[in-house]
Amino acid sequence: MRHRPRGLVAPGFFMPAELSTKPKSRVVFLVDGFNLYHAIDDCPQFHSCKWLDLQALARAFVMPSKETVVAVFFFTALPTWNEAKRARHQQLLDIYQDQGVIVKPGLFKRTTATCRVCGKDYPTFAEKLTDINICIELLRMGSDDIADKIFLITGDNDQAAAITRFRELHPTKEVIAILPPFRQAAELQQAASSSRTITKIQLGRSILPNPYRFRDGVRSYAKPSAWVDSPPPAGWTFRCEHRPTY
């Protein structure tokens, strides 16, 4: 009679073979770029986190033993009204593409908005196409069976309807809403399979190296000098939306 070495368990005995070979869940991240950026920008003590490593942030939310990140999508638009902002933004996009992040561009259009704090109208630029681009990619993740779980980083309640429809069409797949810091989105959270919030610790552990050196071994970018943390002023809450110099 042959004896199995102690400590080894035969497949199907206590541990079914299908469990021992179960494939990892495929995870895709969809990042609403400006929604995340403005959450960080609104907090003076978070400004150094603008130099954000999206791949590292994605890894902070997955379990390597059970999940694998197959793609990170970044939805954004280049600002057209300020060359310095545009240059900084383009630097980040260059870095993200070097890391394998898939950038989905939108655009800005001039418009007028009313401040929810002081009630004044002010000229501004509205980001266009980002919402619909996120919706399209979300639905494609299901129809093309690209992912088992979609982590949606946004605090935008407008995505709730798309999430609801996605879950109706693909009941075995999950959509996890990841809210930026200090953001609330009750409708989004209710529509999602579950929700989490990005913490300062997670942001602090997801900072790009400074300088960032590209894989070509030639280029490197340094973090903008303005992107440093500062203590919030006395009585600080959130800034007024009335920004005439925007």
| 23 falls within a domain | no
| 138 falls within a domain | yes
∠ CA 196-200-202, nearest 5°, is 65
| 230 falls within a domain | no
Helix (H, G, I), strand (E, B) or coil at 113: strand
Domain enclosing residue 151, as ranges: 36-221
| 182 falls within a domain | yes
**Predicted pLDDT at 152:** 99
> Residue 246: pLDDT above 50?
no
The gap from C-alpha 87 to its chain's centroid, in whole angstroms, comes to 21
* Neighbouring residues of 155: CB distance < 8 A, sequence distance ≥ 6: 32, 35, 39, 179, 180, 183, 184, 185, 188
Give residue-wise pLDDT tens across range 109-163.
788 888 888 888 988 877 778 999 999 999 999 999 999 999 999 999 999 999 9
Count of C-beta atoms within a 10 Å radius of residue 136: 13
Using CA atoms, how far apart are residues 59 and 171, in angstroms rounded to an integer?
A: 25
Name the domain count of the chain: 1
| 213 falls within a domain | yes
* Neighbouring residues of 228: CB distance < 8 A, sequence distance ≥ 6: 47, 48
Q: Position 95: which residue type? A: I
| 194 falls within a domain | yes
Mean pLDDT value across the chain: 86
Say which CATH number the domain at 99 has: 3.40.50.1010
pTM of the model: 0.82
DSSP classification of residue 159: G
What mean pLDDT is predicted for residues 35-53? Answer: 92
| 71 falls within a domain | yes
| 239 falls within a domain | no
**Predicted pLDDT at 109:** 76
